[in-house]
A = this chain, B = another copy of it.
Amino acid sequence: MNKEAMYKLSYGLFVLTAKEGKKDNGCIINTAIQAASAPNQLSICINKANATHDMIVNTGKFTVSVLSQAADFELFKRFGFQSGRDVDKFEGYEACRRGENGIYYVTEGTNAYISAKADHMIDLGSHTMFIGEITDMDVLSKEPSVTYEYYLKEIKPKPEAVGKTENGQTVWRCKICGYEYVGEVLPEDYVCPICKHPASDFEKIVR
């Protein structure tokens, strides 16, 4: 099996948000699709390691803000490169509004939001898939949506090759988010602390 085939699948990019009690949170996902037309249903997949995951399990509600080509890297860093367990991602953030379900959607760098119930929760191991009827949605701008390919080419900064560290240690870089792990051997069960992707998504950096 050639795992490179997986990289041929096309994705958009989204801020997935939830609210549990007084806590607001959100993360970046690439797997929001219309799963059925009658009734109109949205599906999303999210890694279980994300704090947002547990909030959706507990509340059964979520909102997807569709990222547009107007999104800057700061937006990806805010929602994708830190954990809601450590920081309040919405603290001091004004580019958001509460939808009918009470959950924040993002109003800048986005072109639409879609809110849904979690009628189905399917345990898939590393991820849970949530599928449910759409409860609210609107268009926010005419900017084209960001595809994952566009993000890699146009938004994500190109990291410089680092090779070995000053101490001569080997560096492994996550192909998804760019996080770097230092050590001769990358443990097989290693999971990226930033984007939660597995060891198979890391590459050894050679100068």
Contact = CB atoms under 8 A, between A and B. Distances in A.
11 contacts: A1-B134, A4-B112, A5-B113, A6-B40, A8-B139, A9-B12, A11-B33, A35-B124, A37-B200, A120-B122, A145-B149
By size class, the interface of chain A is 35 or more
Nearest to A68: B8
A41 B124 contact: yes
Contacts of A124: 35-36, 41, 131
Interface string A129-156: 1010010111100001111010000000
Interface in A150-207: 197-198, 200-201
A66 B2 CA distance: 14
